[in-house]
Structure 1
Amino acid sequence: MRFKRRPQANRCNAQMRVLWITNFAAPYRLPVWDQLRTSHILTIGLLESRKSLAADPGANRGTDWHVQEASTPAFVEIPTWKVKVGEARYYVLKSFLPLLAVGGQDVVVFGGWESPAYWLLLFAAMVLGVARVGFYESTLTTMRHRTGPIAWIRSWFFRQMHAVVVPGQAAREALQHIGVPRSKILEGFNAIDVEAFRQKCPTDVTSEDPSGGHRYLYVGQLIPRKRVDAIIDAFSRIAGTADELTIVGSGQLNDELTSLAKSRGTSIRFLPYIDNRLLPQLMAKHHTLVLASADEVWGMVVNEALAAGLHVVVSDNCGVVPSVAEMQGVFIASRNLRDLAARLRESRDSWGGKISTPEILRWTPERFADVFSDAMRRAVLAISR
């Protein structure tokens, strides 16, 4: 790990030195970081090394999650020990050197809070007088430990921030629920590079089937909370003879779900995990994306499907729902999924072709980056008072 030393900057300058700490480099976050890099000196500190991520099949992350040497902005790997608990990954710093590096920044953005590494980095920022911005994505549905010591630690952590960015209404409500003042919260929209995704959707590939079949799509992990079995059951109940369901992903339930699909006797096929760069071509061949998770912090695949002009059937447990509920082509299933089959049928019956001007295209990574820039400026002003 090597943080570049830079001369101290005047905190009143527009360009700030920013250290963004996160577990790993999510591919959908890269456009936001690239935009921030145009106006700030940005370093991304990764708690998960590329080697460790590649050797962790349980993380369900493809090669598009591995930081490449040519990637921008600047990435540094912060040496940590990793503890795996189910889907969760927790990180502990191997040395105190990253704590000293915090002092060379104007702002530290905390992309998480659960790991001891984040707590130590927060203490360092507080002691060294560095402005602090949090990024909180969870919702009341996905929030665990609403009472007790862990709940107190989470609340305390975010109340030490000078500003906190949330990706939508659901996360804002959760943050207020744990006691963070509304005046500290800046609400954006959890954006992907929607325009680039749409442009990558091949125009020479048609999703229209002359026989009238409707093509449904699931993309994600094959794990219990994703409730892919419910998707299979709902599809089997409403599927016409030419309708199809494609399930893309990997996980512990792969064999069980394959057997379930075979027992239903309908047209269901399974594909392995694919990199994000291949999703546009896949989505171009389908009509309706289905996401029926029991809990979901957001559901970025919904953004991608809407950008591709697809319909989306999504359970209202997902954090994305309040932000897209009024958009064309969105069909919301109840949390218990009793109406999932009805929503699948409704999407099929109302299909009139790909949506030509999806409303999701308004929510760009540039707009989301502006929210972070605003939060960082507020944080610097707060600590300089």
Structure 2
Amino acid sequence: MAVHVFTDEELEGLRRFPVIGRAHSENINFFGGIDVDVKGELAQLGPTGYRPLRARYPLLTSRARRRPPGQRNRPSASRWGHKVRSMCVSARTRQGWRRGAPPTRRRIPKMSAQQMAVPRIGWLTDTAAPYRWAVWEHLARHAQLTLFVLEKGGRSGGRRVPEWPAHSDASISVGDVSFPIKTVPTVRLPAAGRQIRLPMWPGDLPRGGVDALVLEGWDSPAYWLAAGLGRAAGARLVGFWEPTLATHAFRRGLLPWAQRRFFRGLDAAIVPGEAAKRALMAMGVHESKIHIGFNPVHVAGIHAAAAGAQRAAAPAPGHCFLYLGPLTARKNVSALLEAFWLLGNPRDTLTIAGSGPLREELEELRDLLGLGGRVAFVGAVPYDRVPEVLAGHHTLVLPSVQEAWGTAVEEALAVGLHAVVSRACGVAESVNGMRGVFLADPVGSGIATAMRVSRQCWEGPVAEPEILARTPVAFAEAVLRAATGGSVR
């Protein structure tokens, strides 16, 4: 019997192929040897030291994995997948849809020359704020404007302010122009510390007859439904964005995802300054879609109305500070009381004009600090009396810990007052550098320091404030450019 002596190389091959004999058709001669081409077998090994004898799990291998590398997967043709795609793509995209073909990219609606000459603009808002009147007046002169107002249960007692201009259930008059107004009855639902609005009948939302739809919010189902209806009708969608990266309220979770999806789907967005523009670009909105227009109040009218009251005002023995706004937690009025106590000047006064759920608590804090004779709570001030109230003071203080914008700062600067503004306010970066503006951290010591500097620098109302150049007409022009797809200044 011949005895075969295995070399080290052959033994290594046998170790890697412990069942190699089972793969041969010949019977194994247990009393002899088996000739193995060790070098040939080793040459067929992979980089891991094993040779695959067959494809692994052929029945479970998906079609996509068996496709050649680089070939793009086709969209699923399932029934529910097709329904979801049908709701997400526009009507123009659905017309060219073929089963198994990827959807075409949606084109941003462009207006014809006739539409750009007299565009039809719909404006959806949850409150007809008085500082928007001058903007609507200019838009109504250059476009066919229709105002849609979200109302609680269809009643005029929702967020509609009593200082509305002359209006009826069908039209509103501002200056010498008038335009249609339509109310959208809604139901308020509490969610995430705020109230969202759900339309009682979606048919009341703007569905057609407009070339562009301006959406003044995003955080209510009413705005999402209006955006979907406007998209289906082929209208350009224009949104508003005010917060900066520092004042952005939502940073993680479902709401930031919904926020990004909403603004990325718009055709244009209007921001009040470069800081808000950077925040919108951080969400993935392309720079070409963003139009800058300073968030306006009727600065010229406020300046003229307050001029006479300032001339007639008697000189005060000390510095007069003013807070103008609601008494809520994010307004941080308690830090303002602490800052005023830190000043310690018995001749200074502080007027808190506003109402809200924290009034009793703030009055108790005032009495605890011993400021009862120098701090006055006067309640809410009607909008037509705002210039008069501003004219009787020297410095407006806005100490908010979270503020999307801050229109009270613009109103104070238009009168010529100083303004102590929290850095957490969206308006802070836009007014920084103007005469009489002092930025502060939203804590008692920081606010007190800024108030002390404002008092030391006070030499009377600022003559020709820079804010007078930020007119509502310029803001309305930015809205027109965004609504018609015009160029960005």
Could you tell me how far 1:49 is from its partner in structure 2? 4.8
Q: Deviations over 1:189-245 (max 9, x none)?
A: 011110001111152545876564000000111111111111111111114221110
Could you tell me how far 1:315 is from its partner in structure 2? 0.6
- Residue 37 of structure 1 pairs with residue 140 of structure 2: yes
**Alignment partner of 2:163: what SS?**
helix
Residues 270, 293 of structure 2: 8 Å contact kept: yes
Q: Which of 377, 381, 387 is equivalent to 1:270?
A: 377
Q: What does 1:59-74 align with in structure 2 at a 5 Å threshold?
A: 62-64=161-163, 68-69=167-168, 70-71=172-173, 72-74=178-180
Q: Percent identity?
A: 38
Q: Deviations over 1:357-384 (max 9, x none)?
A: 10000000001001011111117x9xxx
Number of the residue aligned with 2:428: 321
Partner Cα distance (1:257, 1:202) in 2: 32
Number of the residue aligned with 1:90: 196
Partner Cα distance (2:344, 2:312) in 1: 17
Q: Deviations over 1:20-67 (max 9, x none)?
A: 111111111111111111000001111125964626xxx6x7523698
- Residue 349 of structure 1 pairs with residue 451 of structure 2: no
* Larger displacement relative to structure 2 (17-26 or 147-156): 147-156
Q: Which has the higher contact order (CA 8 A, sep 6+)?
A: 1
Partner Cα distance (2:203, 2:315) in 1: 63
- Residue 359 of structure 1 pairs with residue 466 of structure 2: yes
**Alignment partner of 2:117: what SS?**
coil
- Partner amino acid for 1:175? L
* Larger displacement relative to structure 2 (201-210 or 345-354): 201-210
Residues 207, 284 of structure 1: 8 Å contact kept: no
Q: Deviations over 1:264-306 (max 9, x none)?
A: 2231111010111101111111000000000101100000000
Residues 291, 482 of structure 2: 8 Å contact kept: yes
Residues 294, 335 of structure 1: 8 Å contact kept: yes
**Alignment CA distance shift 1:18-1:62 (3 Å):** closer
Partner Cα distance (1:198, 1:26) in 2: 19
Could you tell me how far 1:144 is from its partner in structure 2? 3.2
Number of the residue aligned with 1:284: 391
**Alignment partner of 2:485: what SS?**
helix
**Alignment CA distance shift 1:146-1:130 (3 Å):** same
Residues 287, 354 of structure 1: 8 Å contact kept: yes
- Residue 250 of structure 1 pairs with residue 355 of structure 2: yes
Given the two structures, how large is their TM-score scaled by the length of structure 2? 0.71
**Alignment partner of 2:142: what SS?**
coil
Number of the residue aligned with 2:480: 373
- Partner amino acid for 1:300? T
Q: Which of 333, 342, 355 is equivalent to 2:440?
A: 333
**Alignment CA distance shift 1:85-1:250 (3 Å):** farther
Partner Cα distance (2:196, 2:309) in 1: 44
Partner Cα distance (1:300, 1:76) in 2: 26
Q: Which of 398, 403, 421 is equivalent to 1:296?
A: 403
Q: What does 1:164-179 align with in structure 2 at a 5 Å threshold?
A: 164-179=269-284
Partner Cα distance (2:153, 2:319) in 1: 39
**Alignment partner of 1:164: what SS?**
strand
Partner Cα distance (1:92, 1:227) in 2: 30
Partner Cα distance (1:132, 1:211) in 2: 51
Partner Cα distance (1:182, 1:250) in 2: 40
Residues 215, 244 of structure 1: 8 Å contact kept: yes
Q: Which of 216, 234, 243 is equivalent to 2:321?
A: 216
Corresponding pairs, count: 368
Number of the residue aligned with 1:5: none
Unaligned runs of 5+ in 1: 1-7
- Residue 75 of structure 1 pairs with residue 178 of structure 2: no
Given the two structures, how large is their TM-score scaled by the length of structure 1? 0.89
Residues 336, 444 of structure 2: 8 Å contact kept: no
- Residue 21 of structure 1 pairs with residue 121 of structure 2: no
Number of the residue aligned with 2:308: 203
Partner Cα distance (1:137, 1:202) in 2: 30
Partner Cα distance (1:67, 1:211) in 2: 38
Partner Cα distance (1:208, 1:330) in 2: 23
Q: Deviations over 1:64-87 (max 9, x none)?
A: 369842544321101222224486
Could you tell me how far 1:139 is from its partner in structure 2? 2.7
